[in-house]
Amino acid sequence: MNSSPLFPDAPAITPQVRVDFDKLEANLHRMQSLCTEVGIDLWPHIKTHKSVAIARRQLELGAGGLTFAKLSEAEELLPSGVRRLFIAHSLVTEEALARVAALQKQVDQIVVALTSLSHARVLAPLARQAGLTLPVAIAVDSGLGREGLRFLDEGRELFEFLRLNSHLVPVSIYTHEGHAYGVAPMAHQEIVDRAHAHLMEFRKVLGDNLPLWPGCSVTATLFARKPEVALVRPGAYLFGDLYLSEIARTIEREEVALTVRTRVIDRPTPHLALIDAGSKTFSGDKTPEGLSASSFDSRDLRVTRVSEEHGFVTGSDVDSLRIGDLVDFIPAHVCPVVNLARHLVIFGNDRPEQIWPIEAGGCSY
């Protein structure tokens, strides 16, 4: 066991964010093999793991680059050896472009997001002032209603704008289909077909040589074989969570690689157990049914309410729990759970447990 002064005695300490190494490897391999087989690139989004060791492993297995939301994530994960980066966020300050310039000197390519015509009007002068020529991936909204072009006319205007602004060089069109998450599996194909048709329409006005970069954990395998798709950017696929295993069903429950080990700390009334993990471990994210987490084993134990440091466990098996018992839970949404933790406890068949730091934990700037 590696010991860390911050986390000296892993088996005894709870709550503990645990990763089954063999399942992690299987999930990483499955996505990479599909991309390799169909001949597209995989640039996984590191927002889910925020860890140098895992980023390095994704690159070793064949990822062509990595996707980031924030510059600080990229800065922290440079030791992974990443050479090609996509910053999938709207950068709007001089300070941000100075950081992009510093990163550019250390890698082969940084692509940044261009998320609307209004954004282009801010980003282009900043790039000119900074003396940068920025490769940009143009965002199209495919239904989430967050960043991205909504109308073809805006696309046409953006095309004209970019023709006159040599500091922003379009290299692709991307979308994030986050709206596929809350939807039953049989609707995924339709969401992907519609989003793909939408991207192809925008491609006609933005540049018919531009490759498409869609694909999150719910949609990546469906997008992988679509025409003009050159790259997918799933994030949560490597761990899985309740959203992916119970709602989107793109991963089996047995394939979920990350669990949170908690301890029962009180049984204040029948039908209720309190555990030592609340919103500061599970975050405030819940499934549509209102669960923060559900037990990894077959018992019916659900975290139905959280305060900062307490989880309220209910379910038909709750009365079998005693103070001191350990219970492993699958969180509703894995990304914020990792962001709130400092270490991952890695375990697996015949492996001594290891502790991996989460170098970019809390990096939201």
Q: Among 217, 250, 287, 304, indicate the residue that binds ligand PLP (CB under 6 A).
A: 217
Q: How far apart are CA 130 and CA 104, in angstroms?
A: 12
Q: How far apart are CA 183 and CA 210, in angstroms?
A: 29
- Whole-angstrom CA distances from 214 to 148, 150, 174, 334 are 12, 16, 5, 21
Q: Between 239 and 329, whose beta carbon lies closer to ligand PLP?
A: 239
What φ, ψ does residue 192 adopt, rounded to 5°? Answer: -70, -45
Q: Which residues contact 31 (CB under 8 A, 6 or more apart)?
A: 42, 44, 220, 221, 234, 237, 238
Q: Using the rule CB under 6 A, is 221 a contact of ligand PLP?
A: no
CB 250 → ligand PLP: shortest distance, Å? 9
Q: Using the rule CB under 6 A, is 233 a contact of ligand PLP?
A: yes
CB 73 → ligand PLP: shortest distance, Å? 12
Q: How far apart are CA 191 and CA 181, in angstroms?
A: 11
Q: Between 148 and 311, whose beta carbon lies closer to ligand PLP?
A: 148
- Binding pattern for the stretch 55-74 against ligand PLP, x by CB under 6 A and - elsewhere: ------------x-------
Q: Among 52, 100, 127, 216, indicate the residue that binds ligand PLP (CB under 6 A).
A: 216
* Lookup result for tokens 């609707």: 187
Q: Using the rule CB under 6 A, is 240 a contact of ligand PLP?
A: no
Q: How far apart are CA 218 and CA 310, in angstroms?
A: 31
Alpha helices in 287-355 (DSSP H): 334-340
CB 170 → ligand PLP: shortest distance, Å? 17
CB 355 → ligand PLP: shortest distance, Å? 24
Q: Between 80 and 250, whose beta carbon lies closer to ligand PLP?
A: 250
Q: Which helix (H) or strand (E) holds 351?
A: none
Q: Among 10, 74, 82, 88, indicate the residue that binds ligand PLP (CB under 6 A).
A: 88
- Scanning 34-42, 115-123, 164-172, 228-236 for contacts with ligand PLP by CB under 6 A, the matching segment is 228-236
Q: What is the footprint of ligand PLP within residues 33-52 (CB under 6 A)? A: 45, 48
Q: Using the rule CB under 6 A, is 235 a contact of ligand PLP?
A: yes
Q: How far apart are CA 206 and CA 155, in angstroms?
A: 6
Q: Using the rule CB under 6 A, is 176 a contact of ligand PLP?
A: yes
Q: Which helix (H) or strand (E) holds 269?
A: strand 258-269
Q: Which residues contact 1 (CB under 8 A, 6 or more apart)?
A: 10, 11, 352, 353, 354, 355
- Scanning 25-33, 235-243, 250-258, 260-268 for contacts with ligand PLP by CB under 6 A, the matching segment is 235-243
Q: Which residues bind ligand PLP (CB under 6 A)?
A: 45, 48, 67, 88, 176, 178, 216-217, 233-237
